[in-house]
Structure 1
Amino acid sequence: MAPLRRRLAAAVSLASAVALAASACSSSTGGSSESAGPTTVKFWSMPYWIGQDGKVKELVDEFNASQGKVKVELTLLEWKDGRDKIKQAVAAGKGPDVWLMNNGLDLDYLKSGALAPLDKLGYTAADTEKFLPLAKVDEYGGKMYGVPLSFDVGVMLYRTDILQQYGIAAPPKTWEELKSTAATITAKSAEAGKKVAGWQFKGMDDHLNAINSVWESFLCQAGGTLTTPDFKTSTQNTDAGRTAMDYMKSFYTEKISPTGTSALNGFISGDVAMFPFNQSVIASIKLGGAKTEGKWAVAPMPTGPKSGCSMVGGQSLVAGSASKNPAGAGAFMRWLASPERSAQYMEYYGIFPYDLGKVDPAVKATVDGKAKADPNWNAIFEQLARNTPELLLQDRHAFQARWDAQKANIVAGVNGQVPVDKALKTIDDAVGQALGKE
């Protein structure tokens, strides 16, 4: 990641860059109406097709071969710094026409006017009404600025072989059952001579950033929110926040879960029985081959004191307001985020973002067929139905400050390195300062 100072500088300069773009000419180029060849659309993306980095290029090549009016030039970036590179380029007036962004979008872009609303890209109300209600996460000020490729929701992954080994017939459905089931597996496996962690929170391991998504799920289940409805006050140091963190902490104080063990790698190796994360992690689990084949399944998140909701995520396409070729950008976006392509994204377990009752019957048949072929989709769709856009809309406010503060303080609070109240207050203080600057 670029240093925080550079990220903030890029964000501050977005507004001025957008204001100057029309006269100063951004690097987003397109042919004139008199040009003989196709117009050009520059697309910058991270490899969002999990497990197959080359798939994005294949899709771009397929689009280019499918017609002769628009030529897409792909720049494939790395996840570790791709978002920063895009923000810096847009702030400098040299950004792409179309790029990949998290569902929920980035408030810096929205406030600065750097993004083109979909109605300026050729989208109609009939087009956007086909999306699931969760697509509201890409709205701002009454307009839609992002086109969801797919959604993610937090689910529970569990090893069917391990649960069966210890006489557990079904995955846990509540917080109480989750803790009891995990404790049974941890204790009995230790007695048998090969200790297996009954549960591991993804993010309390070698992938710290994941704790943000996991925390959002458990905070939500405890009835918590990230901010007040007006997005002006951080609301994690509350009864709901303490309930969620105390619950998570108990897995470590009671030695049900180990600190430092990778949830995903441990799950693949059989050293972790259950863990929570978004459903697209299934693509990584399948790469385990014989270690995981036929030995795992998906369940909805165990319900907490208030609900069974979870984090919402996924990827969207956006276009720059400074693009010289909005029609070409919109044509490419409608193709790459079309129901036909989104049905393909189910191959890496991206959730189909359209209302099945509003798409072509052939596409519906494809989606239904993929869902029928894999019973794990039943659990994923059940979890999808439990979620609303609200937490993700809150999360776009003071996003970077929140995610940085949570990574450090949730882990420290759950590990017992600092008191729970102090961990939550530190998060609220850091996020509160950032909200105050919005």
Structure 2
Amino acid sequence: MRRGIAAAVVVAALTISASACSDGSSGSDSSGPVTITWWDTSDATNEAGTYKALVKEFEKANPGIRVKYVNVPFGDAQTKFQTAAGSKGAPDVLRADVGWTPGFAKAGFLAPLDGTPAAAETGKFESNLIEQAKYENKLYGIPQVTDTLGLMYNKELFAKAGITKAPGTWNELKADMANVKEKTGVDGFAFNPQGYYVMPFLFGENTDMVDVDAQKITLNSPAAVKGVDTLKGLLAAPGARKLDTTSNAYANIMDAFSSGKVAAIIQGPWENANVFKGSAFKDKANLGIAPLPAGSAGHGAPLGGHNLVAYAGSDQAHQEASQKFIAFMTSATSQEKAATANGTLPTREDAYTIPVLRNPGIAGYQDLLSQGVPRLPLPEYSSLYTPLETQLIKIVSGQEGTASGLDKAAAEAKRLLPDYSTS
């Protein structure tokens, strides 16, 4: 998952055929190398340089293949790829958010990777990440980086408030943030009001937005109401930072945390590098990373990340070159280099080497992966964040009751999933 998470999916695009040809810039002739195009959606400032260097290493090791590198802003990439795949100009390889993979696969945009060189070492990857890259039992992506949500906290501020360990429950967090405010004058907790960040409160009550097996929308289930009520109570308690619903909310919260103006947030490892640039974390050891507090049914945090996927419209020569490229970019060596340089989490166990684990942000989040909840293999799943987020803001600001707001969110979800029943 990336900065300023985009939840919306253009569902209508799922019906577009992937019969178009690949971009002419990815061409070759019998006497020259095959040139494939890769759309990289990583952060252009903090991450892209590492991947450009890896592209050069790949080309050196594979003189018959050239890679046209294009950095595409993450917020634009989903719609841009949908449009390109339905006409012309789609890249041979895309760095796709895990939430996009099922929808693109359903639309016929992606080539299955089972039995190809790209999938030769899938046994070395975290098994739940491989499952998350499948659609209808076929593998459509190879996980390049992963992430999950945890509690980031300022150890120095916690210590000044007399707090000796991270909170284990939401009620403990409520008490801790009040203590921080009273003892230090700093806000104890800030929340980013986006749908993805609500999921731990649902998982903590053993529910999700939908039940795929039962074909039921569960956004308005009693368990979901309980989870959102827990969040609502947390944000209304002493020590909580005033809810920011502006377009700059994400950046404002991160700036406040990184500068020591708020003591704890719910966040993922993609922000490690930026946090360590902040004045409060010049000493990296000051960053605490802990499992998210538990609800009444336990802990739970969504698994995110990015898969490398291959465009189905490319010809055989480009498919084969793409498979080799994906295998190289997701190898243990490449993942180690990316993790060391960018602070991202590898997707395979053999990439968690000693140099990688020297980064406290990576070491902290690796410990949280075991409680991560894989994304459901539902093409419309990411679209469900939008109605949840819309109603959440109304609920926590007192404009709407929890049950009635979630009923409205479920009604909107029903438009996306007409064959599903509601709670």
Cα distance in 1 for residues equivalent to 2:134 and 2:219: 24
Aligned to 2:332: 339
- How far does residue 397 in structure 1 lie from its aligned partner after superposition? 2.7
Going from structure 1 to structure 2, the CA distance change for 1:112 and 1:374 (only over 3 Å counts) comes to: closer
Contact 1:309/1:383 (<8 A) preserved: no
**TM-score when normalising by structure 2:** 0.87
- How far does residue 378 in structure 1 lie from its aligned partner after superposition? 4.5
Aligned to 1:350: 344
Going from structure 1 to structure 2, the CA distance change for 1:28 and 1:178 (only over 3 Å counts) comes to: farther
147-156 or 43-52, which deviates more: 43-52
- How far does residue 230 in structure 1 lie from its aligned partner after superposition? 2.8
The CA RMSD measured in Å over matched residues stands at 2.7
415-424 or 61-70, which deviates more: 61-70
How many percent identity over aligned positions?
23
Residues 237-248 of structure 1: matches in 2 within 5 Å? Answer: 237-248=220-231
- How far does residue 84 in structure 1 lie from its aligned partner after superposition? 1.3
Q: Secondary structure at the match of 1:393?
A: coil
Q: Secondary structure at the match of 1:281?
A: helix
**TM-score when normalising by structure 1:** 0.85
Q: Secondary structure at the match of 1:118?
A: coil
Cα distance in 1 for residues equivalent to 2:23 and 2:367: 44
- Structure 2 gaps of 5+ residues are none
- Report the structure, 1 or 2, having the larger helix content: 1
Per-residue Cα deviation, 1:290-325 (whole angstroms, up to 9, x for no partner): 654343221121222112120110111100111111
Aligned to 2:243: 259
- How far does residue 149 in structure 1 lie from its aligned partner after superposition? 0.5
- How far does residue 164 in structure 1 lie from its aligned partner after superposition? 1.0
Q: Secondary structure at the match of 2:209?
A: coil
Cα distance in 2 for residues equivalent to 1:179 and 1:314: 29
Out of 4, 10, 28, the position equivalent to 2:13 is 10
Out of 16, 22, 26, the position equivalent to 1:26 is 22
2:242 matches 1:249: no
- How far does residue 28 in structure 1 lie from its aligned partner after superposition? 5.7
Cα distance in 2 for residues equivalent to 1:432 and 1:61: 47
Cα distance in 2 for residues equivalent to 1:231 and 1:79: 33
Cα distance in 1 for residues equivalent to 2:35 and 2:370: 39
Amino acid at match of 2:385: W
Cα distance in 1 for residues equivalent to 2:303 and 2:9: 28
Aligned to 2:295: 304
Going from structure 1 to structure 2, the CA distance change for 1:270 and 1:250 (only over 3 Å counts) comes to: same
- Structure 1 gaps of 5+ residues are 190-194, 205-210, 357-362
2:284 matches 1:271: no
- How far does residue 50 in structure 1 lie from its aligned partner after superposition? 7.1
Amino acid at match of 2:346: F
- How far does residue 345 in structure 1 lie from its aligned partner after superposition? 2.8
Amino acid at match of 1:75: V
Residues 7-406 of structure 1: matches in 2 within 5 Å? Answer: 7-13=10-16, 15=17, 18=18, 20-21=19-20, 25-27=21-23, 35-48=30-43, 51-119=46-114, 121-124=116-119, 126-134=120-128, 135-189=130-184, 195-201=185-191, 203-204=192-193, 211-230=194-213, 232-257=215-240, 258-260=242-244, 262-289=252-279, 292-294=282-284, 295-324=286-315, 325-347=318-340, 348-356=342-350, 367-371=353-357, 373-389=358-374, 392-393=375-376, 396-400=379-383, 402-406=384-388
Going from structure 1 to structure 2, the CA distance change for 1:123 and 1:81 (only over 3 Å counts) comes to: closer
Aligned to 1:359: none
Aligned to 1:360: none
Going from structure 1 to structure 2, the CA distance change for 1:59 and 1:123 (only over 3 Å counts) comes to: closer
- How far does residue 274 in structure 1 lie from its aligned partner after superposition? 0.4
Per-residue Cα deviation, 1:18-43 (whole angstroms, up to 9, x for no partner): 2x33xxx33266656x7122111111
Per-residue Cα deviation, 1:79-119 (whole angstroms, up to 9, x for no partner): 23122111110111431111111124333321122111113
